[in-house]
Structure 1
Amino acid sequence: MSSGIRGACSGLLTVRNILVVVLTPIALLPLLLLVEGDEAKCGYCIIIMAVFWVTEALPIAVTSLLPVILFPMVGLMYAKDVSSTYINDTAMLFVGGLIVAAAIEYWNIHKRLALRVLMLVGSEPRWLMFGMMLPTWFLSMWISNTATTAMMIPIANAVLVQLKETRDKDETLHVTAVGEEDIQLTVIGKDDVKNSTNGNINNGIDKQGEKRSEGDDRKSDESTDAEYLRMCKALSLAIAYSANCGGVASLTGTGPNVIMKGAADIVFQEKNMPSPVTFASWMQYCLPISAIIVIFVWIWLQVLFLRCKTYNSGSPEQAKRVRNAVRKQYEELGPITFGQVAVIIHFTLLAVLWVTRDLGGVGGWGDIFDEKTVTDSTPAILISISLFLFPSILPHNFKEKGKPLPPLLQWKAAEKMVPWGVVLLLGGGFALAKGSQVSGLSKLIGDQLTVFKDFEPWLMNLVLCFIVAGATEVTSNTAICTLMMPIMKELAITLEVNPLYFMFPTAIATSFAFMLPVATPPNAVVFSYGFVKVFDMVTAGFLLNIIAVLVLVFGTETWGDAIFGFHTLPDGFRVAVNQSLSTNLTDILTTTATSSI
């Protein structure tokens, strides 16, 4: 009987995704049939997509295409209106950023930078951790958090092998040696990481060498391995958390950032007002928040795992072996080439153009052009196009006569390396936001949240950020951000504060997922290496989640308010609020007069 039940359950699991996709719309039909109004139609579509996103019954990017089908089917929007929301100015900004990031990865510039930093920091664990975190944090501002983590973890493993070998050698213990010449690291794509060593790093933890007859020696050996394992955990989590924090710091760092930017642009364009969210203003607000949290991460992981101790940091042999291992990896990259220099110049130029287009009222090169004619997507696409044209080799060094010079980036490489599914995911988010606005669902939910209007605004913001940070531990941060943006806009307008006051912090809070492997791809990458257990991640991440949200709210109330005027409702929105209140008052007076008659 029990075997039959197990067989049935196993059979259900094999068709789980099909059942979710087929039964979810059917199970939710009462909402569509029994509740009237466009709000119910939009809610029906959103709940279906939320279930598909959480269960991943369909690929996340594929689920993002559903509004093109669902909104016309329920009579909420025309198909052409839904489709037009998928590719807009914000999406083009993100595409341009992704192409430049692909060029950086293609030319191994991110790995060169990371190894260069590690050559400078020495072998003491706390500074090794800092040396791992700094390039991870910086690179994650510009390229995929997952790709950055996948590139850094093998480098960290190579360094850890040297730490283990040197410590064992100093204690005259016999271990399986892993020579510096045997270490080979290969980063494959964005999600696969291969670490090929003639002795796997786990062997350094599991193999105890020759058995010892003395109990004291065994205890010493176990203590050494425990200390080393803590070091492995500290470096692994440091890399994952730095990638998560780095994605917050720049506008194109991660998907939720771009979704928030797109939602903000729509909100302000509806009132014929310029959006205050630019690349420069984003970094002014978010870069300090990100940097402060990274420092907290560095300190907290030292306290939790290193326990304020060092791992044989005074050994000259250890310092030499670590330095040689890192230098060998750097030398394997070869001398810097013309193509790498050209990509670095393109990237630097793009960053400068982004930051200087609009300096927040001070001016910028965007003032040269008519208002609204250029945006942050303009330099992003310009530099991206240049990458497909600018030669990767000087003409006199090109041996294949009669053929065109190879560009810095081939389109085939861009097709392979750019995560095009993310663009669809953004488009689905924009479509949901538009549907929520057209149906009035976001306004309805925002009105319901006004029961908290007696709270201090900062306290409400704090509660909302904690809720979002908790939710994103178990579901897609992009999905959560997509669902929250229209609701936060309506809540802010109802409470007569800047729409960005709730939109900005809740969007950023979706990246503060430090507790579970499934929360973010960087968490999953480091978890797959086997050093970190779920308990370790929960223990380290719980406090960091709290600290990150507190820093976020503090930044919102201080320099964020100074940059964006969070506590002041812009005049364009105030007119709309006053008109709405006037209409409501008129309706009330009309109803009263009719009743009296």
Structure 2
Amino acid sequence: MMSDPPEQDHQGDNQEDTSTESPSSLNQVWALHNFFVFLAPVILLPLPLLVDRPEAKCAYVIAIMAVYWTTEVIPIAVTSLIPIFLFPMMGLLTAKTVSGVYMNDTSMLFFGGLLLAVAIEVWDIHKRIALKVLMLVGSEPKWLLLGLMGVTWFLSMWISNTATTAMMIPIVQAILQQIKLTDTTNDDGNSTDPEMLELEPNDKSKSYEVTVIPDVNGGPNGELPPKYNDVLETDKKVTDAHHARMAKCMCLAIAYSANIGGIGSLTGTGPNLILKGQADIVFGEYNLTSPITFSTWMIYGLPLSFILVIILWVWMQIFFLRCKGFTTCRRKVEGRDRVAEVIASEYKKLGPVNFPQISVMVFFGILVVLWITRDLGGIGGWGQLFKSKFVSDSTPAIFMGLLLFIFPSAVPNVFCFRKRGDKSKPLIKPLLTWQSVHEKMPWTLYLLLGGGYALAKASSETGLSELVGTSLKVFQDLNPWLMLMILCYIITFLTEVTSNTAIATLMMPILSRLALSMQVNPLYFMFPAAITTSFAFMLPVATPPNAIVFSYGQVRVIDMVLAGFFMNIVSVPVLLLATATWGNAFFHFDQVQPEFLNLTTPITTVTPI
């Protein structure tokens, strides 16, 4: 759940200052809501006091963080720092141990991938791709919608969902403005549509002789026939209603496509990386290698994401564009040439493809190839050229990211590359600067990931994980598929009011123990649950993309609720289908390895200092 931006808080303060009425008691209490942060530790204090055991102390810290993450009474990144001082103070872990788990291989993978994403944003490559695709799909409503969704879906697999939405929404607004302008021109009378000129189609003998009326006073005697006014007013209402539906459709489609696109790749969204990190911890406890890599993730997540975006495309047409036969809409976009001109004009402003854009795309392509080919699911890969378990997906990510700070953004004016007569000082500017990284990098997520790793470490060291695993054995007799469906629906609706990354961080350790207690693969519950956190379609506070499109004022909460409820309901069965078919065929979700069956004696390895 997102907090209100500071600007809104300041506006509220100004309104209260200018009001002649005294604020109510409720308003004054709410003004102190940040101080409620002290209530959770006090209310939960009996837990470690009455049960003086390490497991109870660890559960106390987890409960406090769960309350803070859920209510966001303080920023979630700040909440993630609590283990650094509480675990040492309570004698659970040393300060050195806790601090050491905040950055690991998964964090470096995320950092390296985002370096490429930042470079793509800096050089406007994402905008160029978006506009080029829109030029190709045309301005027919269904294809225009598909183009917008397809671009958003693809880009959100590689760059931040929030950044993708923030970039796409202005493009959508320009298109909607042109559609509105064209519709308004037609409503003023500058249309030769036969339906506009024939006032009484059922009685041809009483038709008015109207050709083209240039303005509201353009009738034969300076007045419009009464029935023409009725037709004009009715058509204007129809046009306004159609434009409103078009605006809602395109805006929501952008937000939903960004959420769905994050499922397609390992680095697409925070919960994916949280799953990766927690899976590494669980499998590492038993001296096993987690099967989740960049390439194996795409085998499971990419087809699922593609199916969901197609379902979303069909649903948006049916719900907002009022389409027949799933693809044919009742009304076409008028002045489609003008819409195409707007898109072409925006693309032309970008200028020709330049040297830095080509360079970044080459580096990006090389990185994706290296990610996919490092480990091809046990059948080979360049990772086998090195010592076993020595390289991971973070290795090429950081290497490619490093090259961005070295490779020039223009051909340097030195030696043979220097133009004749050029007396300027040689200057080499790299493709990426640290200032750009500092401004665009989502540093908050690193703290959130680190907080999750700290909780997992403490749970394992204190025996809380073992206690949870033993307690969850009561679910052994339940059907795993039924349990999975219930869990997915609970998380789907819980993530509407809670941060996706926060709920994933809290649920992953619990679900891994639940799976082991039911003697199934830990990924059986962890994988679908992590993906389910991206099914946040119903409320503006659910995800930043939802909040961005809502801030433009064209989408009401009820619009998002009605459209998103269907996607929430449908997405879970599609996820279960993916889990039961190609996901299970590759990851063997329904099988548990022998090492996992003995929950009380995990194999631990000593990490050299």
Question: What is the TM-score when the length of structure 1 is the normalising length?
Answer: 0.87
Aligned to 2:185: 169
Superposed CA offset, 1:281-301 (max 9, x none): 000000011111111111111
Bigger radius of gyration among the two: 2
Q: Secondary structure of the equivalent of 1:542?
A: helix
- Is the contact made by 1:446 and 1:488 (CA closer than 8 Å) also made in structure 2? no
**For the residues of structure 1 that align with 2:286 and 2:423, how far apart are their CA atoms?**
57
Pairing 1:353–2:376 present: no
Among 70, 87, 110, the residue aligned to 1:71: 87
Aligned positions of 1:184-583 closer than 5 A:
214-308=229-323, 310=329, 312-313=331-332, 315=334, 318-396=335-413, 401-574=424-597, 576-577=598-599
Runs of 4+ in 1 over 6 A off after TM superposition: 209-213, 397-400
Task: Describe the shift of the 1:486–1:47 C-alpha distance in structure 2 as closer, same or farther (beyond 3 A).
Answer: same
| CA distance, structure 2, for counterparts of residue 20 and residue 560 of structure 1 | 44
Q: State the secondary structure of the residue aligned to 1:87.
A: coil
Tell me if 1:61 matches 2:77: yes
Q: CA deviation at 1:495?
A: 1.2
Q: Distance in 2 between matches of 1:444 and 1:269?
A: 19
Task: Please tell me whether the aligned partners of residues 156 and 261 of structure 2 are also in contact (alpha carbons under 8 angstroms).
Answer: yes
Task: Name the counterpart of 1:157.
Answer: 173
Partner AA of 1:439 in structure 2: T
- SS in structure 2 of the partner of residue 371 of structure 1: coil
**Aligned with residue 48 of structure 1, among 64, 85, 95:** 64
CA shift digits 1:258-291 (9 cap, x unpaired): 0100011111122221211000000000001111
Instruction: Please list the CA deviations of residues 232-272 of structure 1 after superposition, one character each: whole Å capped at 9, or x if unmatched.
Output: 11101100000000001100001110010001111112222
Residues 483-532 of structure 1, C-alpha deviations (whole Å, 9 max, x = no match): 11111111111111111111111111111111111011101101111111
Deviations 1:564-597 (A, max 9, x none): 11111113223x24969xxxxxxxxxxxxxxxxx
1:440-464 deviation digits (Å, cap 9, x = unpaired): 3344334434333222211111111
Q: Deviations over 1:104-136 (max 9, x none)?
A: 000000000000000011111111110100010
CA–CA distance in 1 between the matches of 2:434 and 2:290? 33
Map of 2:52 onto structure 1:
36
| Cα distance in structure 2, aligned partners of 1:328 and 1:87 | 45
Higher-helix-fraction structure: 1
Shift of 1:215: 3.3
Equivalent position to 2:96, from 66, 80, 97: 80
Q: Does the aligned pair in 1 maintain the 2:188–2:216 contact within 8 Å? A: no
Q: For residues 392 and 480 of structure 2, what CA distance do their matches in structure 1 show?
A: 32
Could you tell me how far apart the structure 2 residues matched to 1:456 and 1:368 are?
A: 43
Query: Where does structure 2 lack aligned partners over 5 or more consecutive residues?
Result: 1-19, 192-214, 218-223, 603-609
What amino acid is the match of 2:92? Answer: L
1:515·1:539 contact (CA, 8 Å) conserved in 2?
A: yes
Q: Name the SS for the 2:329 alignment partner.
A: coil
TM-score normalised according to structure 2 size: 0.85
2:25 alignment counterpart: 8
**In structure 2, how many angstroms separate the alpha carbons of the residues matched to 1:170 and 1:443?**
70
Map 1:91-110 → 2, pairs under 5 A: 91-110=107-126
- The secondary structure found in structure 1 opposite 2:311 is helix
Partners of 1:579 and 1:475 lie apart in 2 by: 35
Q: Which moved further from structure 2: 476-485 or 418-427?
A: 418-427
Deviation, 1:76, is: 1.7
RMSD value, Cα: 2.1
Q: 1:541 & 1:314 partners in 2: Cα distance? A: 25
Identity level (%): 55
Moved more, 265-274 or 376-385: 265-274
Describe the SS at the equivalent of 2:188: coil
User: Matched residue of 2:263: which SS?
Assistant: helix
Q: Which runs of 5+ in 1 are unaligned?
A: 176-208, 581-597
Counterpart in the other structure of 2:197:
none
CA distance in 1 between partners of 2:53 and 2:189 (Å) = 75
